[in-house]
Amino acid sequence: MSALRELELRHLVALDAVASEGTFGRAADRLGYTQSAISQQIAALERLVGERVFDRPGGPRPVELTPFGDVVLRHGRELLSRADSMHDELDRFRNGGVGRLTVGTFQSVSSAVLPALVRSMRTRHPDLEIRGRESPDDHELNGLLAAGEVDVSFIGGAPAPEFECRHLLDDPFVLLAQPGRFPDGPVNVSDLVGEPMIGQQPHSCQLLNEGSLRAAGCDPTYVFRSEDNGTVAAMVRSGMGVAILPFLCLEIEDPRLSFHRLEPVLPPRQITLAWRAGRTLSPAAEEFIELADDECSRLAATMSAFT
């Protein structure tokens, strides 16, 4: 192994200072060292290089780089510049300003929660790269998280036990129907027996929905299923049937639909944000978690006003 593997940055700092100042004394003053300390650093450097890096004429005359010293200084300044760049980037990374943040998500969170979070993160940290990995299935999102393919992930149910998580909000299920199909106000689940229904594909959220309906005495009759929340709503608008979706899936301002609370209330979908336990989160991920908590608190207040 090359002896230069034992080279330390302090050797190069001393070399650069002496080359710039011309004397060991002025280099010592510049760095706040004693002259003997500078001499020791240069002597150590010369032992590692195996050659003298300075010609020392003696007296008041300045020292001069040898041809070997010129090569070492050129490479040394490149290394010092890279060290300075690393220091600057670490500072920016420490403040969440650079790097990449990959977020696991699902459709309703992607449309109702993520836009505000990404906008806020981008405003604070324009050089931060933010990516999303979307799946409707909690098991797949748990797998992405366990494999380290995402830094944090929204989960529409209970995260796997090996993760740390923060509960963000309870997302209530809401009935969608054509206006006038039901009287204003809550609709009893028993009134949905035999009603043609539009459903999502049977992933985690839909299975929770269907299980709760059956427990409340309504075995749903589906005439169409779609993975896309907008398609489900469009089918309801066309008169194909009714649908039950979590609040985050809704465009509550749509005048072509009526929205109703259900009685009895179905257990809500629990939205959590999860990350791998025992792993150090990046500053950007930590900041994202706090912003997600704040944004979901705001959404929870909107939900409570409706429900």
Do residue 147 and residue 296 come from a single domain? yes
Give the CATH number, domain containing residue 115.
3.40.190.10
Give the CATH number, domain containing residue 80.
1.10.10.10
Helix (H, G, I), strand (E, B) or coil at 58: coil
Q: Per the structure block, which two tokens stand in for 240?
A: 């194909």
Do residue 253 and residue 302 come from a single domain? no
Do residue 135 and residue 109 come from a single domain? yes
Find the domain containing 292 and state its range. Answer: 100-169+270-306
- Closest by CA position to 268, among listed 300, 242, 237, 298: 300
Do residue 250 and residue 112 come from a single domain? no
Domains: count for the chain: 3
- Closest by CA position to 169, among listed 283, 10, 32, 307: 307
Q: Per the structure block, which two tokens stand in for 151?
A: 């830094």
Do residue 198 and residue 284 come from a single domain? no
Tell me what pLDDT residue 307 has: 61
| Nearest-angstrom CA–CA distance, 62 and 17 | 13
Do residue 178 and residue 252 come from a single domain? yes
Helix (H, G, I), strand (E, B) or coil at 249: helix
Q: Which residues pair with 198 in a beta bridge?
A: 224, 243
Do residue 228 and residue 240 come from a single domain? yes
Q: How many Cβ atoms sit within 10 Å of the Cβ of residue 272? A: 20
Domain C-terminal end among 52, 78, 94: 94
Is residue 271 within 8 A of residue 204, CB to CB? The reply is: no
Domain C-terminal end among 94, 123, 149: 94
Do residue 10 and residue 45 come from a single domain? yes
Each of the 307 residues of the chain gets a pLDDT tens digit; together they read 467 788 899 999 999 999 999 999 999 999 999 999 999 999 999 999 999 999 988 777 899 999 999 999 999 999 989 988 888 777 766 666 668 899 999 999 999 999 999 999 999 888 889 999 999 888 899 999 999 999 999 998 777 888 999 999 999 999 999 999 999 999 999 999 999 999 988 877 787 888 889 988 889 999 999 989 999 999 999 999 999 999 999 988 899 999 999 999 999 999 999 999 988 888 889 999 999 999 999 999 888 866 6
Do residue 160 and residue 277 come from a single domain? yes
Amino acid identity at 132: G
Do residue 139 and residue 284 come from a single domain? yes
Domain C-terminal end among 94, 114, 141: 94
Tell me what pLDDT residue 95 has: 67
Tell me what pLDDT residue 144 has: 94
Is residue 79 within 8 A of residue 5, CB to CB? The reply is: no
Is residue 209 within 8 A of residue 222, CB to CB? The reply is: no
- At residue 205, φ and ψ (nearest 5 deg) are -65, -45
Do residue 65 and residue 12 come from a single domain? yes
Do residue 251 and residue 289 come from a single domain? no
